[in-house]
Amino acid sequence: MKFPKLRVFLSKIEYNVRKLQGICGREKIEIVGVTKGCSAITEVAKIMVKNGIKILGDSRVENIKRLRKNKIAAEYMLLRIPMLSELQGVIDYCDISLNSEIETILALEEISKKSNKIHKIIVMFDLGDLREGFLLEDIDGISRNMYNLKKIKIIGVGTNLGCYGGVLYTPEKMGKLIDIRRQLESRLNQEITIISGGSTASLSLIEKNAMPQEINQLRIGEAILLGQDVTGNRKIPYLLKDTFILQAEIIEKKSKGTVPQGIIGRDAFGNIPQFIDKGVRERSILAIGKQDCQIDNLEPLDKRVKILGASSDHLIVDTEDTRKNYRLGGFIEFQMGYSALLSLTTSRYVNIETVD
């Protein structure tokens, strides 16, 4: 048994997919299954496709290439704005990409011509979160530049909120995106079929019956993978959360004081630590650290275990109050948020085990 281990419960992820497919399907909204949050674990992608998701989205061409090599039959959407240095790979492996730079779109056109391929794009607009997207005043200029594209097919408009600026999705924001679609259709003299209205954070609009009917696509990862909405600061009540469980091995178990002795400088990451004197307490050290995981995004399944801190390779927890008899060589289990899942699945030191 190799630790640290991340256990992936496929049947629970499948439950979330089915639940969301039902909710979004009733609103005639297509789900793009976003795999980037778990670094595109093949078995997770298969579960999405098995349950009716036709488009898989990821931010890394490398992940999309790997999923294609594993013969997962889907369309593939590149979620991160393409780098100029990777455009051949975008054309070779991605059916759709999100774009917010005219220079990049025109370069994709030229590579598509040479490759004799049609590449589809969703034109992204910044509606206030200050991450990717054209500004509203750019519509005239980008329309002129995109009017005569031959190999690039403009299939949609989209936006992203929450991920950088924390801006929430509202009916008003969605209304602006709908209006952008109308303006772009008029200027390009062509139909634009997709309005990609955001991510997991958009689900609350559906729940409140506040999603405009013109919105017909959502890019959903976090809700499928973890049953959470970090932007909305909530655990989604109708979805399962115990989909991924981390097991970390105990490599030291001792009773020690709670305040270091000596002159205090900075820790290994340049921070000045603060301590509260709670006397002598039982502490366990686990073989995982900041190199593998965003530690402050972990939550022990045993609520009596408290995370004290971590270095690059060691996680220190207080086990004084637990009723379980944790032993050297045993393990402690954790649930996690999105950022911890992302880092754990990216680390080559974490073993991933799928469970049906």
Catalytic sites, residue numbers: 36
| In contact, 37 and 294? CB cutoff 8 Å | no
SS3 284: strand
Number of H helices, E strands in the chain: 10, 18
Q: Strand (E) positions, the chain? A: 5-9, 30-34, 55-58, 75-78, 96-99, 119-124, 152-158, 194-196, 217-220, 228-229, 234-235, 244-256, 281-286, 298-300, 306-310, 315-318, 331-336, 351-355
Phi/psi for 193 (5° steps) reads -90, -25
Helices (H), 149-207: 171-188, 203-207
Query: Could you give the CA distance from residue 164 to residue 128 in angstroms, rounded to a whole number?
Result: 10
Residue with tokens 């958009």: 202
SS3 350: coil
SS3 198: coil
